[in-house]
C-alpha cells in the first residue's frame, strides 16, 4: 500500500506517526495512507516558506508569469495522468476529472497576465513638485484549505493568483484525495518555481488550526461546508488575518411555463446528477412555475434519470457519474433521502436499492428524484451533496423567486425562460452570487470572479478573476517630492495646492 507524503521546500517529506486512509470509492478499499501533520510540522513548513518568500516577492512579475506559462504547458502535457489519479481517489469519471483540471488550468492562464493585473496608479503633480503612486505588494506567506470535491481546480484557483502576486503559499488539501495536489507541486517545481514557495501540508483539524493560529500566515482562503467556513472565518479574522471562505449551497433552478422543457430537463440532469451531485454549484432544487409546467418537467425527467449510467471511472467515458467519496457521505445521503420520505415528499425515482455487480462495497448512490417538496423538509433546507434532485412546485414567478431568495444559501441559481423581461428581472433582483439564464451551472470563466452570497460566502473578495489579485496583495501609496534644491531653506508647512 502506498504511503503518501507532504511537499516541503521542493521535495517529498515523510510525515509523522498519524495517518488517514485514502479510499478507492468504487471498491471501498483503502488504497493509500496520507500523513496528518502536527502543529510542529505545519509551523516548520511555514517558517521555510517565510524564508524563501522575499526573493520570490522581489522577482519581477513577468518572470513569475513565465513560471505560470510553463506550468500551463505541463498541466496540458500531464492531463491524462492527473485525471486518472483524480478519478482513482475521488471517483469522478475521466471526462469530469479532466474538466476539474481544465477549469483550474484556465485560472493559471489568467495569472499569466499578472504584470498587468499588478500595475498600480500614478498621479503626476498632485501638489507642487509632488507625485503620488500606489504599489500592489505581496502579503508574504498565505494559505489555502481546499475541499475533496475539486482536488485540482480549487487548489489551482488558490495557488495560481497567490504565487503570481509574489507570495509563498501553504496548501492544506483534503486528506480524502491528496495525490493530485502533490502532483501539482511537482509540476510547479518543474516549471521553475523556487523551492519553499509552495508547501503542501496534508492534515486534519490540527493542521487547519495551526495555519489559523500561526502569526506568519497573512491570509487564508477556504472552500468547504458552511459550518467549517464560519469556523475558519471567525478564528482567522480573530487572529488578524485576511480571510475568504466559501461554504455550502442549495442552488435553485426556476423553470418558467414558456421554457423549452426538453432543454430544461437535459440541463437538470447534468446539473443535478453530474459528479454524483458533489458540486457546490450543482442544481439540487427544481422550481417549476405552475402545475402543468411541473408535470411536464417530471414527465421528461423520469426516463432521463432512469437511463443514467452509474459506475466506476474504469467503465468508460459513457459513465454518467461515479461513487460518492466516502462511506460516511453515502450514509448521510441515504439518511436525508429517508427523511424526505418520512416528511411527506413524493419519491418519484427511487435509487435506494442501487447495487453494482462487482462493486457492492463501493460508495455508489443511485439517482433520486423527489416531487412535492416543501420548504420545511430537511431535503430542502440542507445541502445533500449527492445525486438527489428535489422539486418544489410554485404557482407564480414571484413565489418561485421567493424560494431562492429566502433560502439561507446563495451560491448559484438559474432560470429557464424564453422571456427577456423575466430573465432581466430575475438577474436584477435575486440575492445570489452567480446567476444563470438558460445556463444551469453558471460558473464564471477565469477572468470573472466566483463567489456566493449569504451563508455561501464569508469575506468581501471572491475567488479568481481580478478579486484574487486584490485578495493576495496589499496596497501601498507613496507620496514623493523631489525638490530642485534647498536654496530657500527647510519648509515646515505642507504647501497649499495651487
pLDDT tens-digit map of 167-191: 999 999 999 999 999 999 999 999 9
* Residue 365 predicted with pLDDT over 80: yes
3-state secondary structure of 93: coil
Predicted confidence (pLDDT) at residue 498 exceeds the cutoff of 70: no
Among residues 454, 463, 386, 384, the alpha carbon closest in space to that of 146 is found at: 463
Residues noted as catalytic:
280
Residue 497 has pLDDT above 60, yes or no: no
Strand order through the sheet with 29-35 = 2-3, 29-35, 19-24
> Average per-residue pLDDT in the chain?
96
**What are the backbone dihedrals phi and psi of residue 233, each rounded to the nearest 5 degrees, phi first?**
-65, -45
Pairing of strands 409-410, 388-391: unpaired
Query: 328 Cβ partners below 8 Å, 6+ apart?
Result: none
For the full predicted model, state whether its pTM sits above 0.85. Answer: yes
Residue 347's H or E segment, with its range, is: strand 346-349
Cα 326 to Cα 22: distance, rounded to the nearest angstrom: 9
pLDDT for res 487: 58
Return d(Cα 291, Cα 372) in angstroms, integer.
Answer: 10
pLDDT digits (tens, 9 = 90+) for 86-135: 999 999 999 999 999 999 999 999 999 999 999 999 999 888 889 999 99
Quick check: 483 pLDDT over 90? no
Summarised one tens digit per residue, pLDDT across range 219-242 is 999 999 999 999 999 999 999 999
Strand partners, 450: 463
How far CA 138 is from CA of 141, 169, 405, in Å, comes to: 9, 11, 37
Q: Does residue 395 carry a pLDDT above 60?
A: yes
| Beta-sheet strands, E only, within 392-470 | 409-410, 412-416, 434-437, 453-454, 457-458
pLDDT at 388: 98
Tell me the CA end-to-end span of the chain in Å, nearest whole number. 76
Helices and strands in the chain, H and E counts: 16, 23
**Residues 403-444: pLDDT tens digits?**
999 999 999 999 999 999 999 999 999 999 999 999 998 899
Cell of residue 304, nine digits: 432521463
Structural domains of the chain, ranges and CATH numbers in brackets: 2-247+456-478 (3.40.605.10), 251-437 (3.40.309.10)
The DSSP bridge pattern shows strands 412-416 and 251-255 to be parallel
Amino acid at each position: 500500500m502506498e504511503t503518501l507524503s507532504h511537499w516541503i521546500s521542493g521535495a517529498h517529506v515523510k510525515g509523522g506517526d498519524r495517518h488517514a486512509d485514502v479510499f478507492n470509492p468504487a471498491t471501498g478499499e483503502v488504497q493509500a495512507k496520507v500523513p496528518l501533520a502536527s502543529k510542529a510540522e505545519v509551523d516548520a513548513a511555514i517558517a521555510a516558506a517565510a524564508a524563501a518568500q522575499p526573493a520570490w516577492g522581489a522577482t519581477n512579475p513577468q518572470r513569475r508569469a513565465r513560471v505560470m506559462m510553463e506550468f500551463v504547458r505541463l498541466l496540458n502535457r500531464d492531463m491524462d495522468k492527473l485525471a486518472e489519479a483524480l478519478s482513482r481517489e475521488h471517483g469522478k469519471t475521466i471526462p469530469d476529472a479532466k474538466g476539474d483540471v481544465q477549469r483550474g488550468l484556465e485560472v493559471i492562464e489568467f495569472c499569466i497576465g499578472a504584470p498587468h493585473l499588478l500595475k498600480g496608479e500614478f498621479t503626476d503633480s498632485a501638489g507642487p513638485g509632488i507625485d503620488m503612486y500606489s504599489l500592489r505588494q505581496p502579503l508574504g506567506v498565505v494559505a489555502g484549505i481546499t475541499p475533496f470535491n475539486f482536488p485540482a481546480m480549487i487548489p489551482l484557483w488558490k495557488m495560481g493568483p497567490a504565487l503570481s502576486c509574489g507570495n509563498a503559499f501553504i496548501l492544506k488539501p483534503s486528506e480524502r484525495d491528496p495525490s493530485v495536489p502533490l502532483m501539482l507541486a511537482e509540476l510547479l517545481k518543474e516549471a521553475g518555481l523556487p523551492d519553499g514557495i509552495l508547501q503542501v501540508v496534508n492534515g486534519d483539524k490540527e493542521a487547519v488550526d495551526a495555519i489559523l493560529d500561526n502569526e506568519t500566515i497573512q491570509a487564508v482562503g477556504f472552500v468547504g461546508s458552511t459550518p467549517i467556513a464560519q469556523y475558519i472565518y471567525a478564528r482567522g479574522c480573530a487572529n488578524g488575518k485576511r480571510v475568504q471562505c466559501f461554504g455550502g449551497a442549495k442552488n435553485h433552478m426556476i423553470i418558467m411555463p414558456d421554457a423549452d422543457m426538453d432543454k430544461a430537463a437535459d440541463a437538470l440532469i447534468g446539473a443535478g446528477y453530474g459528479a454524483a451531485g458533489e458540486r457546490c454549484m450543482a442544481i439540487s432544487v427544481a422550481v417549476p412555475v405552475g402545475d402543468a409546467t411541473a408535470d411536464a418537467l417530471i414527465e421528461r425527467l423520469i426516463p432521463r434519470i432512469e437511463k443514467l449510467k452509474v459506475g466506476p471511472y474504469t467503465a468508460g467515458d459513457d459513465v454518467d457519474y461515479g461513487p460518492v467519496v466516502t462511506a460516511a457521505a453515502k450514509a448521510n445521503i441515504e439518511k436525508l433521502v429517508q427523511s424526505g420520505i418520512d416528511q411527506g415528499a413524493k419519491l418519484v425515482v427511487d435509487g435506494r436499492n442501487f447495487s453494482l455487480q462487482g462493486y457492492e462495497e463501493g460508495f455508489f448512490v443511485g439517482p433520486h428524484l423527489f416531487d412535492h417538496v416543501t420548504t420545511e423538509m430537511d431535503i430542502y433546507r440542507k445541502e445533500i451533496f449527492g445525486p438527489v434532485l428535489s422539486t418544489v412546485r410554485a404557482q407564480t414567478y414571484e413565489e418561485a423567486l421567493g424560494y431562492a431568495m429566502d433560502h439561507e444559501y446563495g451560491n448559484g441559481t438559474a432560470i429557464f425562460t424564453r422571456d427577456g423581461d423575466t430573465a432581466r428581472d430575475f438577474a436584477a433582483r435575486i440575492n445570489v452570487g452567480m446567476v444563470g439564464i438558460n445556463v444551469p451551472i453558471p460558473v464564471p470563466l477565469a477572468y470573472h470572479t466566483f463567489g456566493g452570497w449569504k451563508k455561501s460566502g464569508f469575506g468581501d473578495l471572491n475567488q479568481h478573476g481580478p478579486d484574487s489579485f486584490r485578495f493576495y496583495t496589499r496596497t501601498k501609496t507613496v507620496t514623493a517630492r523631489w525638490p530642485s534644491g534647498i536654496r530657500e531653506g527647510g519648509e515646515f508647512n505642507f504647501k497649499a495646492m495651487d
